[in-house]
């Protein structure tokens, strides 16, 4: 078995149950901040997965995906569930593998209307290749017990927003179709999960969706006809086959060893710490910003003050609207862990630095906070 599990996340309970039905020996795993995972095996023990329910919406999906990544250090992250089709050639029950995820709510309000400013994330090449191999071989459909029609698998972009789309004529529907015409499905979590993977060493993320409605006002009818259950069963079958193949690639050394930590560059801060009679020289061309020369700030009191100051700045970022509530709550939780580690007797340096690195993954896109955090991490690493 691969030493690295595969994380599978879902937004709805029926999606969770569809994946869990493929698991054997599932055991609960509780994150220190309360998130419940189940860890079990697929394919007779050849593939270990960690399964969790994240709820609806991109924000909660992003925060809990980040939590799962840091907890398990997985080889890949799969997000599995249902979606609404945006094109008529896609049938109910079909499976969509996202080649690109659009976060479609970004825009600029101008005099002549709203102009789209999307963010997008592409599936990694290696994950795309494995998913297409699963489709070509048809291995995922062995033993398929559907209504007699084998679902088609589409490789296409998906649009992710914050609303349940159930109309073809609303302004919201027209906005998506005008600006994201190549998207073949719409849902509410993929952008958050894709961003979490991007910020963690470009971890391979695959979004697998079963089509349960046409996002056209007929959702009540399709739900009554049990299309959610059928669609998610198809998506789960494909995702399980994909997870097994990824695990096999990982065992054979053919799967990438994703870099840990954020892929965003940290600010260019250099710390030279000299002890006793040691001397440190600095050679530089042009220095932008401040230069601080002083005694070693390695005492716990200094670090406590730095953590307190960082907490104040986090609160300010939330008040200013630069940090959403879910991300703030997750960041505050990691700061609390860091505070506790600093007060432990003896101090737990590893626990402290791990909490700070998790925090870095949450706020790495806020330059001023990332700079402050880099300084705090340097102080923590200098502790004896």
Secondary structure letter of residue 43 according to DSSP: G
The pLDDT value given to residue 58: 92
Phi-psi region of 225 (alpha: psi -120 to 50; beta: other; left: phi over 0): alpha
Closest CA to 264 of 334, 351, 367: 367
Of 66-70, 190-194, 296-300, 334-338, the one with minimum mean pLDDT is 296-300
pLDDT in tens, 3-55: 699 999 999 999 999 999 999 999 999 999 999 999 999 977 889 999 999 99
pTM (two decimals): 0.67
Position 295 confidence tier, pLDDT thresholds 50, 70, 90: very low
Quick check: bond before 346 cis, omega within 30?
Answer: yes
pLDDT: is 164 or 230 the higher one? 230
Query: In terms of CATH, what superfamily is 6-251?
Result: Nucleoside phosphorylase domain (3.40.50.1580)
Helix (H) or strand (E) holding 23: none
* Mean pLDDT value across residues 157-167: 89
Position 266 confidence tier, pLDDT thresholds 50, 70, 90: very low
Maximum average pLDDT range among 77-81, 306-310, 379-383? 77-81
CA–CA separation, 371 and 118 (whole Å): 27
**At residue 275, does pLDDT exceed 50?**
no
Of 243-247, 270-274, 302-306, the one with minimum mean pLDDT is 270-274
The pLDDT value given to residue 144: 67
């Amino acid at each position: 078995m691969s030493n690295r599990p595969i994380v599978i996340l879902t937004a709805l309970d029926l999606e969770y149950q569809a994946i869990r039905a493929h698991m054997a020996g599932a055991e609960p795993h509780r994150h220190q901040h309360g998130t419940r995972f189940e860890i079990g095996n697929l394919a007779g023990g050849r593939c270990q997965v960690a399964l969790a329910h994240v709820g609806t919406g991109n924000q909660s999906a992003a925060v809990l995906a980040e939590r799962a990544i840091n907890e398990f250090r997985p080889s890949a992250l799969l997000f599995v569930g249902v979606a609404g089709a945006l094109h008529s050639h896609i049938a109910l029950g079909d499976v969509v593998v996202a080649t690109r995820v659009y976060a479609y709510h970004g825009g600029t309000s101008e005099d002549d209307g709203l102009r789209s400013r999307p963010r997008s994330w592409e599936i990694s090449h290696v994950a795309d290749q494995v998913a297409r191999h699963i489709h070509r071989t048809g291995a995922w459909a062995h033993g398929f017990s559907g209504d007699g029609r084998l679902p088609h698998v589409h490789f296409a972009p998906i649009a992710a927003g914050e609303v349940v789309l159930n109309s073809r004529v609303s302004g919201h529907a027209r906005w998506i179709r005008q600006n994201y015409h190549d998207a073949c499905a719409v849902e509410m979590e993929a952008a958050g999960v894709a961003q979490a993977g991007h910020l963690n060493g470009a971890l391979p993320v695959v979004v697998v969706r079963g089509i349960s409605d046409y996002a056209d006002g007929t959702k009540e009818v399709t739900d009554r006809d049990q299309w959610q259950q059928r669609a998610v069963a198809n998506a789960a079958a494909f995702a399980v086959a994909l997870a097994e193949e990824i695990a096999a690639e990982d065992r054979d050394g053919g799967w990438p060893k994703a870099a840990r930590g954020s892929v965003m560059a940290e600010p260019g801060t250099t710390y030279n710490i000299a002890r006793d009679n040691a001397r440190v020289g600095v050679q530089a061309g042009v220095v932008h910003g401040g230069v601080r020369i002083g005694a070693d700030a390695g005492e716990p009191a200094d670090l406590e003050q730095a953590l307190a100051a960082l907490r104040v700045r986090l609160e300010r970022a939330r008040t200013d609207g630069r940090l959403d509530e879910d991300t703030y709550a997750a960041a505050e939780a990691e700061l609390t862990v860091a505070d506790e580690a600093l007060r432990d007797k003896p101090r737990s340096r590893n626990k402290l630095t791990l909490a700070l690195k998790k925090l870095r993954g949450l706020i790495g896109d806020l330059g001023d906070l990332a700079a402050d955090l880099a300084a705090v991490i340097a102080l923590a690493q200098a502790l004896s």
